[in-house]
Amino acid sequence: MTTIAAPRNADMADERTRVRRRSVARPLLYGALVLCALLTMLPFVWVLSGSLRGLDEIRSDPGAWLPHHITLDNFIRLFRTEGFGGFLVNSVVVAVIVVAGNIVAASAAGYALAKLDFAGRRIAFGAVMASLMVPFTTVFVTQFVITVDLGLADTLTGIALPGAALPLSVFIMRQYALSVPDELLEAARIDGAGELRVFFRIFLPLAGPAVATITIMSFLYSWNNFIWPLVVAQSTSTYTLPVGLAATSQAAAHVTDYGLMLAGAIVVMLPVLVLFLFLQRYFVQGVAGTGMR
Amino acid sequence: MTATIGPTTPRGARRPRGARRTAVAWLFLAPFTLVFLLYTALPTVAALGFSLTDLRGTDLRHPLAVDFTGLENYLRLLADPSFLRDILNTVLFVAVGVPLTMGLGFALALALNSGIRRLRGVFRTVFFAPVVTNVVAVAMIWQYAFNANGTVNKVLGAIGFAGPNWLDDTHLAMPVVILLGVWRNFGIAMVLFLAGLQAIPQDVYEAASLDGAGRWRQLRHITLPLLMPTTLMVSVLLTVFYLQVFDEPYLLTGGGPLGSTESVALYTYQQFGVGEFGMSSAASFVTLLLVTLVSIVQFRLLRPRA
């Protein structure tokens, strides 16, 4: 919070204490930040070191911090475990449906909410905001009944569908669309372009950053979603990675096979963490987007 | 979809809400509206309906043939000691988890916004990483770290403490569950606070330090008041989040030991699991009620007084 530029009319004594205080505060601040960062990283360190240790080693010395011998045995066993490759494929399929759905539904809805003047706009926007607030536990029983009635129980489509038009995505796109100048769209309309043409030719090419944020956020939602796939998936053939991992780990926990569990944890975590490292901006924007009311 | 590209009559910048315009707009909204009606609106109304019936999993094929039982489910809930315990657990999770998450997020946001340059991006990445991390995976790591012979107890042992079996202890399991919640979510609070801090114009601080206000007074009299909208938003967001806490207790402890970490959401899920759909819906409406109440109260309390 210190102002970098010292006030001009501050007297010299004041200036000197200020500088001295800052030179003490800065290393302290860095020290605290580094400590917090290390504590935050601990689980990642544990999972990496644990997954690289052999089964005997984990059993004989479960709490050790670093592996004595590094081995990929856990990962090999993991992919030999029946169905695990299938869980991975299922997760990818569900994520593709969810992301595609969100791009289409949210681009169109967000654009309409921000840029079109029509009867029912306030109601539609209210619906978006309200559905951000409705607890999952309130709706999941009926969602399940509907999924059964649609014949989608125990299918990947049934898992993907409720997340295919997330209110957060609509909200992100609407906020972005508000920043696009009306003049651009109006000019195209005066040139005789219809609404669909204005949307596809003028608006969408400008909406790249919002589409990217929506893609990231809906992928994140789908990849990490746990409770809904847990409800819908009834056979191992439709398990997504988190559900499969939870089931695998419950089985593995009985024989305290932590190596297998931690290797599974790595496989689930890694794709998102790698994406996050490269596309951090969009993740942060997506989360901060919820706050831009 | 094809009929809408047609000749448009030239109009001024402000155009009337024609029926055609409205139709086109709703066409744009159709995919979202469909999913919203099917998976949010209808289920919310239906859940209220279900909560007033004795619907069970076995009645699924004929949901309209069930009996209307009025408020019986709600009365059963209030008479169920385990439900009351779960409400207390959930409130505890919120009451401890929200301030911890916000405090940590705020402190880190302040630190990262204090003019430091070096490693700033690295710190932000590290602190936000838990937010994107899969909860099933993290819960597994937590189990590995907090079991009786786990990594945490190894550290405690090294400094001379005999570590307990954390997740099997009725008093210690909840703190571990809360810790997981805080670890997963403080990055969200940090990012939102950071955005709020950066929106405060720098010249306000310059003016204050010209007037001789120290850093502490600047924090109290400038940063905190100007940050109020962000604080309100973060607290509502986290409270609404935490009132629905499910993943952490389900994955770490399954609600145990002896129900000491069982949340309302977990109760709801278990009632669903045993086919008591009516009871499950009633319990979920208690969550909805709590969420609504808390939002209203927080908006009232924290709204800046004009």
Cβ-based neighbours of B250, under 8 Å, separated by 6 or more: A227, B266, B269
- A113-172 per-position pLDDT tens digit: 998 888 888 999 988 888 887 888 888 888 988 898 889 989 999 999 999 999 989 988
Q: Do B123 and A37 touch (CB under 8 A)?
A: yes
Q: Report d(CA A262, CA A256) in Å as an integer.
A: 11
> Do A289 and A168 form a contact (C-beta atoms < 8 A)?
yes
Total residue length of chain B: 306
**What is the per-residue DSSP string for B40-64?**
IIHHHHHHHHHTTB---GGGTT-GG
Report the predicted TM-score, pTM, of the whole model to 2 decimal places: 0.82
pLDDT for the residue A63: 65
Structure tokens at B191: 């990012």
The per-residue pLDDT for range A214-246, each reduced to its tens digit, is 998 899 889 989 889 998 988 888 899 999 888
**Dihedral angle sign, alpha carbons of residues B23, B25, B30, B33:** negative
- Model pLDDT, residue A107: 94
Do residues A174 and A256 share a domain? yes
Could you tell me the maximum CA-CA distance found in chain A, to the nearest angstrom? 78
Q: Are the beta carbons of A164 and A98 closer than 8 angstroms?
A: yes
Distance, CA of A78 to CA of A59 (rounded, Å): 17
Tell me whether residue B70 is exposed, middle or buried, using C-beta atoms within 10 angstroms of its C-beta: 0 to 12, 13 to 18, 19 or more. exposed
* Boundary residue ending a domain (A51, A75, A99): A75
Render pLDDT for A197-217 as a digit per residue (tens, 0 to 9): 888 988 999 888 889 889 988
Q: Where are the domains positioned within chain B?
A: 72-302
Same domain assignment for residues A170 and A30: no
| Residue A158 and residue A69 in one domain | no
Q: Check residue A136 and give its pLDDT.
A: 86
Structurally, how many domains does chain A consist of?
2
Contact between chains at B237 and A245 (C-beta distance less than 8 A): no
Give buried/exposed letters for A46-58 (b at 16+ CB in 10 A, else e).
bbbbbbbbbbebb
pLDDT of residue A10: 43
Domain that holds residue A96: 82-289
Residues of B in contact with A40 (CB under 8 A): 126-127, 129-130, 183
Name the domain boundary from A45, A75, A105.
A75
Percent of chain A whose predicted confidence (pLDDT) is above 90: 19
Spatial CB neighbours of A293, under 8 Å, sequence gap ≥ 6: B233
User: Is there a single domain that holds both residue A23 and residue A144?
Assistant: no
Give the helix, strand, coil percentages of chain B, each rounded to 5. 70, 0, 30
Query: Cβ contacts (< 8 Å) between A262 and chain B: which residues?
Result: 140-141, 144
Determine which of B32, B236, B252 to mutate to test the interface with A (most A C-beta atoms within 10 Å): B32
Each residue's pLDDT tens digit in chain B (306 positions)? 334 444 444 444 444 457 888 888 899 999 999 999 999 999 998 888 888 888 887 776 666 667 788 788 898 889 899 999 999 999 999 999 999 999 999 999 999 988 787 888 889 889 988 988 888 888 888 888 888 777 888 888 888 787 788 888 888 899 999 999 999 999 989 988 988 888 888 888 888 888 887 788 888 888 888 888 888 888 888 988 899 899 889 988 888 788 888 999 999 999 888 888 888 989 998 888 888 888 787 767 766 554
**Taken in order B107, B113, B116, B118, is the CA torsion positive or negative?**
positive
Query: Domain B72-302's class?
Result: mainly alpha
When pLDDT is averaged across residues A63-89 and rounded to a whole number, the result is 80
User: CB contacts < 8 Å between A and B, how many?
Assistant: 326
Judge whether residue A103 has pLDDT over 90. yes
Q: What is the CATH number of the domain that holds A244?
A: 1.10.3720.10
Alpha helices in chain A (DSSP H): 12-51, 55-60, 73-80, 84-115, 121-133, 136-149, 156-160, 167-178, 182-190, 195-197, 204-206, 208-224, 227-232, 241-254, 258-278, 280-289
